[in-house]
Structure 1
Amino acid sequence: MEAVKGWRPESWGRVTDVVERRPTIYDVAERAGVSKSLVSLVLRDSPKVSEQRREAVLAAIADLGYRPSQAATQLASSRARSVELLVDDYRNLSFVGLVQGLRRGLTGQGYHLTVTEIPRFGNRLDVPGVAPAADARVLAGEPGRALLAGWNGPTVVAGWRGDDARGEAEIARLEADLVAADDELGARLATDHLLDLGHRWIGHLSGSSGPAVHRRAGYQQAMAEAGLPALVVGDRGTTEDDGYLSASTLLDGHPEITALVAANDLMAVGALAAAHERGRTIPTDMSIVGYDDSPLARYRVLDLTTVDDRSVPVGEAAAQALLRRIDDPHQPATRTLIPPELIVRGTTGPAPTHP
């Protein structure tokens, strides 16, 4: 057997002493003080990286002598980079603007947006249709019990979610950023508008979702400051049927009511039907305000006074927050509130002399 040149028997068992570990992308990230994903962006020469961070990463690469695997680089650059939006009801018209805003915010960033409907009160993330390889997620539905169990990726919550203890715990665990309309302010704008028109008996159609809870709080604050009773019905869904049933309950129980503030535009449509059935003319005998300024509210046949929840700017801000979270997963969680706007149309008018 031919001896191997340069090999000495005494070196047996000490191979690890002379073989140096090849630096990895994680070593580069640690040396530069950035995330692994940001190092990947530098390797792809992404314009999203600031010059200061780019120089820090390049310096770390030079110091460590890091050489990326060509196969890994090709795989990373060719894979589909996906942001998944989780919604709990495709029928919710406020999601239309949110999707539009998210797409605007992600344009030119190399990510594509997918939308997945999740069970309203689902308790698992691996429901049919949820993309397992999403790079990041935007949550626009109620978390439910452990909905996001097993998910630790970059997350942004769009709109008020998780108003029960379990949902709050899930969102806190993920250190998710929050981007939402200031719904308490929006409901106050709607209620103050009706008060300015002379209405004193104003009811509210509510629901159990996070946005509905904050809108209810804004209505109650405005009524308390006016020294008037808060009349609230509804603690579950916010569909057109829910609006019809809640409005019927309020109008039958309190016929003195001359105005209603609904948690969303769909509930307002249901309230319009309930008012018409009881012989109320809109806006002569009854004023109704919706919320969201959905496409439905803009139909001329409805001409619904509503609150614009600024869903498009919320979506754009959510996309920006998500991109920052992808670049730096360890940054502190942020909260961004977008001011809503009152849109006065044809379903509100001065309070009638006799209800």
Structure 2
Amino acid sequence: MNRRPTIIDVARKAGVSKSTVSLVLQNSPSVREDTRQAVRQAMADIGYVYNRSAANMRMSNAGLIGLVINDLRNPFFTEFATSLQMALAEKGYSTVIANADENADLQEQVVSSMIEHGVSALIICPTYGDTKATFDAIARAGIPTMQMLRQVDDRLELFPFIAPDYVSGSREATRHLIEMKAHRIAFVGGLEGRAVTEERKAGYLEVLREAGMKPIVMTGKSSREFGRNAAKKLTEEHPDIDAAVCFNDLVALGMLSGFYEIGRKVGEDFLIVGFDDIQDVAQTYPALSSVRCDIAAIGARAANTVVNWLEHQETPQPAMRTPVSLSVRQSSQMKKRRT
């Protein structure tokens, strides 16, 4: 080799990414020992000598956590990102946040950039779609990475997963509506086939089977627009339905608007329970009942898990579920006043 070896040459020789070599130069604890040894050997084999001052500049990223969110427009994920960033700050870590906008290609791009900039760990609320390239790149870099709120990669030994107990939440919401004397209960929202939709729907279906009630499922985009249209469609096509468990609070808020437009009173003619319990739902009228996931607690738990992984080499358990509870408000409790 006639020119001075570069970091790219080291990466090619060791069979790793450029970002992994950067992490080795930083003495990052996030790199596996076998990977570290391979990179060091490649450096020796080709005679690579790094610029110490440049390495010190790279070290300025030590303690930087990459946080990738699938959709920051959704208040649920915004609240999670805020809670997690604050919890990490209390532990002395800075956070760089990116919005993947439910785009798997964009997610791959921002994750690659974060790896190249030497983040110590990654926390990802992943998009759906073809995400294998994203997680394969992380695996090659050997960076501690958590999947949050959604699981899209099955390699939980590499990418542990934390999420609320969605099944328990929909189960509790459905039982509550039955206790409030609902005669026919629908499940509204969530894209068909997605893991989160199936989990949130599962508790609903289980309780209806136990009660001998016939389910009706209306899946679709998890948005206010879908909820608004669903309220009208349910009234037109299934006038006997008098209650709904919604996939999330955005769908439930849309249903509130839709029923208001057609003159149907939520809390009297129709009962609604949302899911996530974002901050705004307690301020609507009628106030919206919702499954509370306690996003602040999840953020704190994620921060503790990642910091212990980095500082004490405490590998997280593969999958962790956090408890949920039901916040009962006007949208689902007024019907009990009927005789």
Q: TM-score range by the shorter chain?
A: 0.7 to 0.9
Offset at residue 244 of structure 1 (A)? 2.0
Instruction: Verify: 1:345 aligned to 2:329, yes or no.
Output: yes
Q: 2:266 aligns to what SS in structure 1?
A: coil
SS in 2 for 1:105: helix
CA contact (8 A) 2:151 2:161 kept: no
Larger helix fraction of residues = 2
Q: What's the counterpart of residue 78 of structure 2?
A: 96
Q: Does 1:148 align with 2:140?
A: no
Q: Secondary structure at the match of 2:330?
A: coil
Deviations, residues 248-270 of structure 1 (Å, cap 9, x unaligned): 33332211011111111110011
Per the alignment, in what secondary structure is the counterpart of residue 135 of structure 2?
Answer: coil
Could you tell me the percent identity over the aligned residues?
24
CA distance in 2, matches of 1:267, 1:300: 14
Shift of 1:302: 4.3
Assess if the C-alpha contact under 8 Å between 2:83 and 2:299 holds in 1.
yes
Counterpart among 141, 158, 179 of residue 148 in structure 2: 158
The answer to whether residue 189 in structure 2 is matched with residue 206 in structure 1 is yes
Displacement of 1:196 in angstroms is 0.4
Is the Cα contact below 8 Å between 2:146 and 2:159 reproduced in 1? yes
- Structure 2 residue runs without a partner (length 5+): 1-26, 32-50
Change over 3 Å in CA distance of 1:183–1:353 after alignment to 2: same
CA contact (8 A) 1:135 1:154 kept: yes
Can you list the C-alpha shifts for 1:208-265, whole angstroms capped at 9, x where unaligned?
354332111111111111111111111x420111222333333322110111111111
TM norm structure 1: 0.71
Number of residue pairs matched by the alignment: 283
Equivalent in 28, 47, 66 of residue 84 of structure 1: 66
- Find out whether 1:187 has 2:177 as its counterpart: no
For residues 60-87 of structure 1, give each alpha carbon's deviation from its aligned partner in whole angstroms, at most 9, with x where no partner exists. Answer: xxxxxxxxx9869955753353212211
Segments of structure 1 that go 5 or more residues without pairing to the other structure are: 1-34, 40-68, 163-167
**Which 10-residue stretch deviates more, 220-229 or 128-137?**
128-137
Contact 2:156–2:319 under 8 Å retained in 1: no
The letter for the 2-side match of 1:286 is F
Q: 2:283 aligns with which of 299, 306, 309?
A: 299
Q: Which has the larger radius of gyration?
A: 1
Shift of 1:120: 1.3
Is the Cα–Cα contact under 8 Å of residues 139 and 156 in structure 1 kept in the other structure? yes
Structure 2-normalised TM-score?
Answer: 0.74
Counterparts of 2:109 and 2:229 in 1: how far apart (Å)? 31
In 2, the alpha carbon distance for the partners of 1:86 and 1:207 equals 21
Letter paired with 1:78: S
Q: Which deviates more from structure 2 when the two are superposed, residues 150-159 or residues 245-254? A: 245-254
Indicate the residue corresponding to 1:15 in structure 2: none
Counterpart selection for 1:111 from 63, 81, 93: 93
Once residues 106 and 59 of structure 2 are traced to their aligned partners in structure 1, the CA distance between those partners, rounded to angstroms, is: 31
Structure 2 CA distance for partners of 1:203 and 1:351, relative to 1, 3 Å: farther
